């Protein structure tokens, strides 16, 4: 949706300002949703929240400002200081439940309760970003049919039926408190599909949690939403546990059958709350500092397109959130102004030398895009230096910490190639700030790609980093194994994330082998994937991608409307902005996806017609760019549809604009 800045009012008050992107600002539908978001935010008042201070949804560049609070997110605190315990844990559980009670009392559902959206401030926990919620009457501020939330923090009923209600917030709250108590994700990690299965069918990991709190969390984590407590009841239950840790007398504030006085609970939480907080860095006031334009920085960059669902080409259409309030310091000190906008951050495409395709007509044979990646680089090699080609074991603890920097020219060249490839992929999504290191473990015959530490980075960014790191390491090693099989000893790769400097063992994001092929293929043809479409839905910052996407969407829409009018038994889509597209820089595929609420593409014949329209309309544009721009590496496409109210896209075909003999 835009960018969130750390900012100062004219009086010097610290605030967080969410500034809408210009492309969104000119969309009337977006403005209507943004006004609704502002109205929802204004409804919510209560303790342990960050209130809306000001907004102007009708400004040329719409914006809203919330109170700024200093502190670590729960995720940051756990990484740096470990789990909460005793009174601090009960205070956290009580405060967050009371915040949800205030949100629900205003007729709002949060819909994204997770560790990145809770701050541990000096005055207690603060629940953030309830502005992405929707009114409890069911009128959504997001697109129909989209899964809203973060895997592992989504309720079973939302996975099954797309239902978002207050009971879903309580489920996420139960998982949040369990995570705070143990430092372990209650439903584990891994692929989104695996986490979803555990949420719907498995039991949460509550080992080690005190029995009394565990009972409250088990109720909150019930699969049946009807069995979960209300937020106010959960807050009262946790307050009683907190009171047992306290010598403070609350009887005078107890209102008996009606429950405890929220003010008394707030006093108790404040009295028992004690957590480390980051150093308070002074913010220069505009009066004493030279005037500066806003400059974007990773610590405050956010992607919240799904929060208010902008219908822009290549826009993020599933929830991908950053956090305005998780700054390591101010990005820019300036007055809050309605006309402030983010720097574009747009970059040109990077050379695709390590993401090979096949050259089209007119391309020289020396074009690096025409160099195929070996799918079986050690085929026929008798004495390969890499000996773990058939080893399916996963990385073991200690491999990362035992790795070292490149030791010779070959390793240095490989490390540079991996860094360049990852940088090229990330640049198209405005993620160039995600620096990485490449290290080697000769004993494990593994190349390690490590990102971080960036304390405010959200899981969606890490997922793109994982995919880019795996692809770059795989491609680089596949070529090395093919060219120098008897001397290059590496063939495995692992991607890690470092949460803080000095970490003994980084978190494993993904791993694989270059001997298994680097792309998802069937019968030698590259296929679209769910991971790819998720990456493609992140807004592009590449000027060529933006230009091609805009013109291609218009052309596909016009061609489809013409095909429908020709009388092939086809139905028009039920919305004007049903078709959109985006680019996955990792597997080099353009994704076209459709919001098909009425089932216009439900049958194979209809899908075949749409495939024909896409290939005949998009391919000339892609190939023209491919032949004129050596930095352009998209000739493949995939098509998906969100059918009915489904939260997951159905991928039903993939293809290549190049002739079959060249693909």
Residue 12 pLDDT exceeds 90: no
How many angstroms from the chain centroid is the CA of residue 435?
18
Q: Peptide bond before 453: cis, by omega within 30 degrees of 0?
A: yes
Global pTM value: 0.52
Cβ partners under 8 Å of residue 526, min gap 6: 519, 520, 587, 589, 636, 654, 656, 663
What pLDDT, on the 0 to 100 scale, is given for residue 260?
A: 59
- Residues facing 593 on adjacent strands: 580, 640
What pLDDT, on the 0 to 100 scale, is given for residue 515?
A: 94
d(CA 319, CA 116) in angstroms, rounded, equals: 13
Does 497 or 11 have the greater pLDDT score? 497
Residue 614 pLDDT exceeds 80: yes
Tokens (6 digits) for 301: 């960059």
Cβ partners under 8 Å of residue 100, min gap 6: 110, 113, 127, 166, 169, 170, 173, 231, 234, 235
d(CA 608, CA 362) in angstroms, rounded, equals: 30
Please provide the distance, in angstroms rounded to a whole number, between the alpha carbons at the two ends of the chain: 37
- Mean pLDDT for the chain overall: 79
Cβ–Cβ under 8 Å, residues 508 and 434: no
Parallel/antiparallel/unpaired status of strands 72-73 and 118-121? antiparallel
Range from 282-286, 327-331, 511-515, 614-618 carrying the lowest mean pLDDT: 327-331
What pLDDT, on the 0 to 100 scale, is given for residue 261?
A: 62
What's the chain's Rg over C-alpha atoms? 26
In the residue annotation, 483 being an active-site residue is answered as no
Cβ partners under 8 Å of residue 293, min gap 6: 332, 343
d(CA 194, CA 192) in angstroms, rounded, equals: 5
* Catalytic residue (one of 27, 56, 86, 112): 112
What the chain holds in terms of domains, given with CATH numbers, is: 74-272 (1.10.510.10), 374-518 (no CATH), 530-662 (3.30.70)
- Residue range 290-311, pLDDT digits in tens: 433 332 222 222 222 222 222 2
Q: How confident is the model at residue 81 (pLDDT cuts 50, 70, 90)?
A: confident
Percentage of residues of the chain with pLDDT beyond 90: 39
- Residue range 103-144, pLDDT digits in tens: 998 888 888 899 988 999 988 999 987 655 444 444 344 444
d(CA 573, CA 570) in angstroms, rounded, equals: 9
Burial class (CB in 10 A: 0-12, 13-18, 19+), 607: middle
Residue 253 pLDDT exceeds 70: no
d(CA 58, CA 218) in angstroms, rounded, equals: 45
Residue 185 pLDDT exceeds 80: yes
- Residue range 528-578, pLDDT digits in tens: 888 899 899 888 889 899 999 999 999 999 999 999 999 888 989 988 888
What pLDDT, on the 0 to 100 scale, is given for residue 227?
A: 95
Please choose, from the candidates 76, 79, 152, the residue with its C-alpha nearest in 3D space to the C-alpha of residue 506. Answer: 79
Is residue 561 helix, strand or coil?
Answer: helix
Residue 211 pLDDT exceeds 60: yes
For the four alpha carbons of 298, 40, 126 and 93, in that order, the dihedral sign comes to negative
What pLDDT, on the 0 to 100 scale, is given for residue 263?
A: 62
Range from 121-130, 208-217, 437-446, 480-489 carrying the lowest mean pLDDT: 121-130
What pLDDT, on the 0 to 100 scale, is given for residue 285?
A: 63
Tokens (6 digits) for 442: 């000769």
d(CA 419, CA 430) in angstroms, rounded, equals: 16
What mean pLDDT is predicted for residues 348-362? Answer: 34
Tally Cβ neighbours within 10 Å of residue 212: 13
Range from 56-65, 354-363, 570-579, 605-614 carrying the lowest mean pLDDT: 354-363
């Amino acid at each position: 949706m835009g960018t969130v800045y750390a900012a100062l009012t004219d009086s010097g008050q610290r605030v967080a300002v969410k500034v809408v992107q210009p492309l969104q600002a000119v969309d009337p539908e977006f403005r209507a949703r943004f006004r609704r978001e502002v109205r929802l935010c204004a409804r919510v008042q209560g303790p342990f929240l960050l209130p809306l201070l000001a907004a102007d949804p009708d400004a040329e560049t719409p914006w809203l400002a919330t109170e700024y609070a200093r502190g670590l997110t729960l995720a940051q605190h756990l990484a740096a200081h470990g789990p909460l315990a005793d009174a601090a844990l009960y205070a956290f559980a009580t405060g967050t439940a009371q915040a949800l009670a205030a949100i629900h009392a205003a007729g709002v559902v949060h819909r994204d309760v997770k560790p990145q959206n809770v701050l541990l401030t000096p005055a207690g926990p603060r629940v953030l970003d309830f502005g992405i919620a929707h009114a409890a009457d069911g009128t959504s501020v997001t697109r129909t049919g989209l899964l809203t939330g973060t895997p592992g923090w989504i309720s079973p009923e939302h996975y099954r039926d797309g239902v978002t209600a207050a009971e879903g917030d309580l489920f996420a709250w139960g998982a949040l408190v369990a995570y705070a108590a143990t430092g372990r994700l209650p439903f584990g990690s891994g692929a989104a599909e695996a986490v979803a299965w555990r949420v719907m069918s498995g039991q949460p990991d509550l080992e080690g949690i005190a029995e009394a709190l565990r009972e409250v969390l088990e109720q909150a984590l019930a699969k049946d939403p009807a069995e979960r407590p209300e937020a106010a009841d959960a807050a009262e239950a946790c307050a009683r546990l907190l009171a047992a840790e306290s010598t403070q007398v609350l009887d005078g504030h107890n209102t008996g059958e009606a429950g405890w006085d929220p003010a008394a609970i707030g006093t108790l939480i404040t009295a028992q709350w004690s957590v480390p907080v980051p150093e308070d860095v002074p913010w220069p006031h505009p009066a004493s500092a030279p005037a500066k334009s806003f400059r974007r920085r990773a610590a405050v960059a956010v992607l919240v397109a799904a929060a208010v669902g902008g219908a822009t080409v290549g826009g993020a259409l599933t929830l991908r959130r950053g956090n305005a309030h998780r700054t390591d310091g101010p990005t820019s000190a300036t007055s809050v102004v309605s006309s402030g906008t983010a720097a574009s951050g747009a970059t040109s495409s990077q050379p695709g030398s390590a993401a090979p395709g096949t050259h089209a007509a007119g391309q020289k044979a020396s074009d690096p895009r025409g160099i195929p990646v070996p799918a079986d680089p050690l085929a026929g090699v008798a004495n390969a230096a890499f000996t773990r080609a058939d080893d399916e074991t996963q990385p073991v603890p200690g491999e990362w910490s035992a790795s070292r920097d490149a030791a010779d020219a070959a390793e240095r060249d490989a490390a540079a190639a991996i860094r360049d490839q990852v940088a090229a992929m990330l640049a198209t999504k405005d993620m160039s700030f995600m620096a990485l290191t490449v290290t080697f473990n000769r004993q494990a015959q593994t190349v390690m790609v490590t990102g971080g530490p960036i304390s405010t980075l959200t899981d969606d960014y890490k997922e793109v980093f994982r995919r880019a790191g795996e692809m770059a390491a795989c491609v680089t090693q596949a070529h090395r194994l093919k060219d120098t099989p008897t001397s290059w000893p590496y063939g495995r790769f692992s991607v890690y994330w470092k949460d803080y400097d000095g970490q003994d063992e980084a978190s494993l994001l993904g791993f694989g082998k270059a001997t298994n092929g680097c792309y998802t293929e069937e019968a030698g043809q590259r296929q679209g994937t769910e991971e790819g479409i998720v990456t493609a839905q992140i807004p592009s910052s590449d000027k060529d991608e933006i230009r091609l996407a805009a013109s291609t969407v218009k052309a596909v829409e016009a061609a489809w409307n013409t095909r429908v009018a020709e009388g092939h038994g086809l139905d028009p889509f039920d919305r004007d902005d049903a078709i959109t597209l985006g680019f996955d820089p990792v597997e080099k595929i353009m994704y076209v996806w459709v919001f098909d609420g009425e089932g216009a593409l439900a049958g194979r014949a209809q899908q075949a017609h749409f495939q024909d329209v896409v290939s005949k309309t998009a391919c000339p544009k892609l190939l023209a760019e491919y032949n004129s721009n050596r930095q352009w590496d998209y000739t493949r496409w995939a098509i998906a549809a969100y059918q009915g109210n489904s939260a997951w896209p159905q991928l039903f075909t993939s293809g290549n604009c190049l002739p079959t003999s060249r693909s």
